[in-house]
Chains A and B, each alone.
Chain A
């Protein structure tokens, strides 16, 4: 893969890592409240996959959605403003951490019901087929979603109807605090796709180049063959399930073992080894990202809260 593209993937991952670290700080300061699920550790998945599809392709995802929204091109300022509950937020302060939406960017939402976005992806895929256009849907879900009925109904229908949906499982090994060994009859969830006559593969979700390449090739087939496929990326979240997680269900040693595979460190070392990244360039990217995140926080902080009258707006689109 050419060096510019790899630098771009590196920059996006750093941006999301810093954004999430700042989000955590803002949560501790009480600027952000409610549920808050950080993407730290899983950046290679969102960045690699979303960078490999077209701008016009749709993305739907679950509740760990800040990083993926940013990867899809949603303005970090408006993501942070949403976290702050501000009117300038991407969902006007009505969604919050788990419900980032940006229709223009075709980021069709963070869904906070486990598995809830899979049927929606099938419907968007149906609309693409109905409209005879060549977009695809990239549908993220976690390992937990694979045990929901919606997973099975959606896989069956997407395959039966030949819909352009790329089902992308981010297997971070835990559905909240229950490990996959304790929740699933099989650990390689992608094998379930075979039952629905859907092609599947398992990849290293801690390697952004591998995620990018796998998604690029798969998205190409989904687009040209108009058939769903499934990718399962093995990944890991370095932080708790949410910011309020005592982490009694996993050992520090396990977390440390996965941190050795930090996708950002891996790519940085590789690019340094190849002479593509220098210490100077690393600092330059860090500074750029720092300023994007700083501006996002400043923007969010200075933006007004929605007026109380907004509570009754957007319940109905039509006449009521």
Chain B
């Protein structure tokens, strides 16, 4: 085990996979000379050279499209989008091409590509730089969606994603890049897609959360245990597609209560899908209505207090857990 930051774990995953497989390369805006605007790719240019660590112009549609084309012709690209907000400029290539070519070609053209991008609010970057867009991608058949919350998960899941034969939207979180965690040293440390991780075991209520919200929930869970003796079980799905519904269902069958916490805005979010799936599978195990703690249905504002009001806070989670245990409606 080594202590490292989330960004360093990602960088190591790049380096190890690039050493292992010559077909792997990484490209994106300011990822080579600059080292990436969140410094994830720092140092890769020195080790692998400009043929495999490639700065692109600011042209998201062709960056993603070129990644797809390279994958069609036998390479395994990692494409970094500076932030997920810019993926919207490449949506035609992601949704009409990456997600569909294997299917439309009757299984002739797999697209083994990873599109990495950070998302999330909390740094006062305004509405065009603070979105959470996972629901858009989860809603597209043909894509896989990976969304790690810790340094170890980031590394293990990125390595698996690079080795996977499908187009993967690998969603990082801007606030998590500096967060430290224990990461296994093993060069072949990978984490399978579609396997949730119980980040905290408990008995009174199940909380499903991913990405940054895992940490918000961990804080709330500590507080609830200390102040109220409430035992929270936290399930981090880690990948939203495939989604480990079995682990979530099992946990709900144990606790009888489910709260879903997501930073993304509420309407038609991933939380709605999880709630529906659990309702279908475990309705008779539920002792209370499923609750969602989600971002507000607003563009993310700039001003600090407004921004914090738009995304779930620790106290929002604490209140939701108390409400669900009191059997009160939201």
Mark A residues whose CB is within 8 Å of B.
58, 89-95, 99, 101-103, 108-109, 111, 113, 116, 118-128, 130-131, 149-150, 153-154, 156-157, 160, 313-320
Q: How far, in angstroms, from A317 to B168 measured CA to CA in the complex? A: 12
Contact of B106 among A119, A314, A316 (CB under 8 A): A314
- Can you give 23 contacting A-B residue pairs, CB < 8 Å? A91-B108, A101-B104, A108-B109, A109-B101, A109-B109, A111-B97, A113-B97, A116-B96, A116-B97, A123-B70, A149-B61, A153-B57, A154-B62, A157-B59, A157-B66, A314-B102, A314-B103, A314-B106, A315-B103, A316-B142, A318-B110, A318-B166, A319-B193
The answer to whether A320 touches B194 (Cβ under 8 A) is: yes
Could you say which residues of chain A place their CB within 8 Å of the CB of B51?
Answer: 130
The answer to whether B66 touches A126 (Cβ under 8 A) is: yes
Could you say which residues of chain B place their CB within 8 Å of the CB of A126?
Answer: 66, 69-70, 75
Chain A nearest CB from B138 CB (Å) reads 13
B309 close to A (CB within 8 Å): no
* Docked complex: B132-173 residues within 8 A CB-CB of A: 141-142, 144, 164-166
Contact of B92 among A109, A116, A121 (CB under 8 A): A116
B71 close to A (CB within 8 Å): yes
B43 close to A (CB within 8 Å): no
B296 close to A (CB within 8 Å): no
Binary flags per residue of B103-138, CB closer than 8 Å to A gives 1, else 0: 111111111100000000000000000000000000
The answer to whether B68 touches A156 (Cβ under 8 A) is: no
A310's closest neighbor in chain B, by CB? B106
Mark B residues whose CB is within 8 Å of A.
25, 51, 56-57, 59, 61-62, 64-75, 77, 92-93, 96-97, 101-112, 141-142, 144, 164-166, 192-194, 242
Q: How far, in angstroms, from A111 to B100 measured CA to CA in the complex? A: 11
Q: A127-B70, A157-B56 are in contact. Are A109 and B104 (CB under 8 A)?
A: yes
Q: How far, in angstroms, from A8 to B170 measured CA to CA in the complex? A: 50
The answer to whether B65 touches A150 (Cβ under 8 A) is: yes
Between A103, A123, A128, A313, the greatest number of chain B beta carbons within 10 A of the residue's beta carbon is seen for A123
The answer to whether A153 touches B73 (Cβ under 8 A) is: no
Q: How far, in angstroms, from A125 to B142 measured CA to CA in the complex? A: 24
B142's closest neighbor in chain A, by CB? A315
Between A94, A160, A313, the greatest number of chain B beta carbons within 10 A of the residue's beta carbon is seen for A94
A91's closest neighbor in chain B, by CB? B106
The answer to whether B104 touches A99 (Cβ under 8 A) is: yes
Contact of B68 among A123, A128, A317 (CB under 8 A): A123
Contact of A120 among B56, B65, B104, B194 (CB under 8 A): B65
Q: A116-B97, A130-B70, A317-B166 are in contact. Are A122 and B105 (CB under 8 A)?
A: no
Chain A nearest CB from B95 CB (Å) reads 10
Could you say which residues of chain A place their CB within 8 Å of the CB of B57?
Answer: 153, 156-157, 160
